[in-house]
Amino acid sequence: MDLLSPRPGVGQIKPYRSQRPPKDGRRWIDLSLTQNPLGPSRLALAAYREAAGQIHRYPDWSQDALRHAIARRHSIDVDHIVCTSGSEELIHLVTQAFAGPGDEVLCHEHGYRGFLKAIRAAGATATIAAERDLVVDVQAMIDRANDRTKICFLANPNNPTGTYIPVDLVQRLRSGLPPHTLLVLDSAYADYCRRSNYSDGTEIVENSDNVLMIRTFSKMHGLAGLRVGWGYGPQPVIEAVNAIRGAFNVSSPAQAAAAAALTDAEHEEATYAHNAEWLPWLSRELERVGLRVYPSVCNFVLARVPTDPSLGVQAVVDHLAHRGILVKPVSDYGLLDCLRITVGREEENKALVVALAEVLG
């Protein structure tokens, strides 16, 4: 008799793991996840608390209030929005809905690893286009697309490289892909990038019938623990995701808090300003203590540890952990000697640089 086994591909997926602060009573500085160092918006927190009184009821399956809040805020059509449990769930749902065994899904070399997981979980095959100097190479992506390419994922800006491509290149990618390929623009870090040649993809969605944009409340809005993401796309894509999502996939406190966060301009501006001040500071200081830092438009930087046989990435990670600081090694992205470091609060950033100077000095 056959032993119980998951379907092909699932066995290749490694469960998510990242270093967690030991519960040793110390105050840890966690720069290993791309969270908001200022915490959640006060308005979101108040809405969350108020909604908590109703948690004996199922959440609104239609996500009406939250979708309207998103539509108002972004001046987009409410009927083209779907909300999910983090944008991660949306990545899984759209992959399941559009790709399966025998289909190909296109990604870029150092693209967000959540894409690969979703592709394998759906039983589809990932095709990986090479990048150029850690930046997406649009022509390489177009060249890898074929009759079987059902989805093309583009994280813009990308995690963990922190790099982005300008809107004219995203347009070029869209028009270079076959019409049967759904282009998924993951704009998780869009709120941090105010470059004039950058777009989260809203107008690209509006001018085509095969583009889905994905956003999240986990970063700028500081609601990573609540798990709220959303997508904006053409009707058939939204309908397909609605058809297969759990009816109650976003909890009622999460829906209420996310809607309230969109009205908290003060929190957003404070978050943006903090990042705009400390991202360049961190980049400069990390270079000063000997790391190679790649230019980032996100709330984190990618930093390469100098090649020194006596000092590997792990030694740096261990030293930082000894000092109570967590950062993320990104070897699973093929970036063997690199760390992804999130911008923290002032004192956290300064403590990190001091600890790095000790080990690299």
Nearer to ligand PMP, 150 or 219 (CB): 219
**Footprint on residues 167-186 left by ligand PMP (CB under 6 A):** 186
Task: Name the residue nearer to ligand PMP (CB basis): 163 or 218.
Answer: 218
Q: In the complex, what is the shortest distance from the CB of residue 141 to ligand PMP, in angstroms, rounded to a whole number? A: 16
* Closer residue to ligand PMP in complex, CB, 15/309: 15
Which runs of E-coded beta strand occur in 100-234?
Answer: 104-108, 125-129, 131-132, 135-136, 149-155, 182-186, 211-216, 229-232
Minimum CB–partner distance for residue 81 and ligand PMP (Å): 15
Stretch that binds ligand PMP, among 9-17, 81-89, 131-139, 323-331 (CB under 6 A): 81-89
Residue in the block written with tokens 């995690």: 159
Q: Which of residues 264-303 bind ligand PMP (CB under 6 A)?
A: none
Closest distance between ligand PMP and the C-beta of residue 147, in Å? 28
Nearer to ligand PMP, 159 or 359 (CB): 159
CA distance 134 to 347: 30
Q: Does 224 bind ligand PMP (CB under 6 A)?
A: yes
Q: Of 61-69, 205-213, 216-224, 333-341, which segment contacts ligand PMP by CB under 6 A?
A: 216-224
CB of 114 to ligand PMP, least distance (A): 5
Q: How far is CA 309 from the centre of its chain?
A: 33
| Contact set for ligand PMP, span 227-256 (CB under 6 A) | 229
Binding range to ligand PMP, per CB under 6 A, among 85-93, 122-130, 145-153, 318-326 = 85-93
155 lines the binding site for ligand PMP (CB under 6 A): yes
331-334, long-range: CB < 8 A, 24+ apart: 332/14, 332/113, 333/110, 333/113, 333/160, 334/109, 334/110
Query: Between residues 212 and 351, which has the closer beta carbon with respect to ligand PMP?
Result: 212
SS3 category, 264:
coil
Asked whether position 112 contacts ligand PMP by CB under 6 A, the answer is yes
Could you say whether residue 36 binds ligand PMP (CB under 6 A)? Answer: no
- Any residues with CB less than 8 A from the CB of 252 and at least 6 apart, and which? 51, 54, 55, 57, 58, 59, 60
CA distance 283 to 275: 12
Asked if 161 touches ligand PMP (CB under 6 A), the answer is no
Beta-bridge mates of residue 325:
29
| Cβ at position 230, least distance to ligand PMP in Å | 9
What pairing do the DSSP bridges indicate for beta strands 211-216 and 182-186? parallel
Tell me if 113 contacts ligand PMP by CB under 6 A.
no
Tell whether residue 152 is a contact of ligand PMP (CB under 6 A).
no
β-pairing, 300-304 vs 338-342, is: antiparallel
CA angle 48/84/231 to nearest 5° reads 115
Does 218 bind ligand PMP (CB under 6 A)? Our answer is yes
Q: Is 309 helix (H, G, I), strand (E, B) or coil?
A: coil
- Which residues, in sequence order, are CB contacts of 115 under 8 Å at separation 6+? 91, 95, 105, 107, 126, 153, 155, 186
Interface ranges with ligand PMP (CB under 6 A): 34, 86-88, 112, 114, 155, 159, 186, 188, 216, 218, 224, 229
